[in-house]
Structure 1
């Protein structure tokens, strides 16, 4: 059994290295430190930080601003529009026999360009919409509907994010209470196993009863470990959803995700 357990440990270590994208020749060191921080998450701060920094919110706000610009553009198409343009033309053309050399032809054209005055002028054009069969009006109404839909989508997204953060915070509080309760169970199981060892040494119980207490202690250890993993995963999940590190009490910066060892 011990040899099979060693093989299983190596197999899982290789799978972990592959998931972390590290070489299979690298070693994996297990940290047996089971301590954890007692984190009290401020729900209001978590909600505010999440709504301010979540990328989904920023994308929806950008899309909403684009819809507002489109509404102004469509509405302006039915207004009187004016356009002023100025021009200045150079004229340098001279009719020469085709027998002349190309360089001579360009030289004559250049002389004509300097001799003749340039054409200049200013043009003013005005566009007045008279009757478009309510096409522009319907386009404006359609754009307002799209804008209203975008606003509703933004509000719905904000509510979804709030619910998501609230649920994560409640799960974290519940996980911490469960972890603290399981630590008490471990202390009780350790004390019970210690008593059983003394009773077994005195001959009061047999090896089967001692094995049962040892199994209870192992189950208590495993339950506490699973609760600790769940608690730390929830801390990371809240950090990802709110862009705020409540363990160190500081906002999350982009550099935290771009650090290279």
Structure 2
């Protein structure tokens, strides 16, 4: 068995790209399969994390450490530059977890919209994290698995969309909701470095995003007719590395 590595870093309530994009990873407590998987599971978020014994000079700006096999929820809190809302993508180096979904609900008092994802967009599977080395084999080479070690969360502006239920087209000049609130301060409270229950530093190994289990989550359907280019004109992009917590 490969040795695990002590993790050091700043515990975070939210992972942050800028003042307009915050992301929170949690344990999925909505789906029955997820609740079964997550019994006794842990999840911690870190910013500016290090593995001092393995790679003392490397910094992981955003890191999620989670129990092996746990099912995740991913909450995106973003403040778009347009009054209609934002599109978002959650993608590993190999393929998207979510390709194009949209948050066009009413903004909160700070101008943010919130959306939570618990599944892959194009297959009704939970978003889980497995141990990278456990997936090594003839069908999963290290180079391919390393592409599943990270995911990028990207957000961009929506300029026009059709709501098929209301049969109305919404634009910047005719938004779905009233004017955006005046932007306010963003709460990015950070805790102290996380430690395991016994007081020792968390021991971790590299993890991979994996589709597994089943979920009941559905997504609102809209027809987006104009939007910013998510590859060139995004207003937020955040990369996260995943690690599995050693249970011993």
TM-score when normalising by structure 1: 0.19
Q: Which has the larger radius of gyration?
A: 1
Higher strand share: 2
TM-score by length of 2: 0.20
Higher RCO (CA < 8 A, seq sep 6+): 2
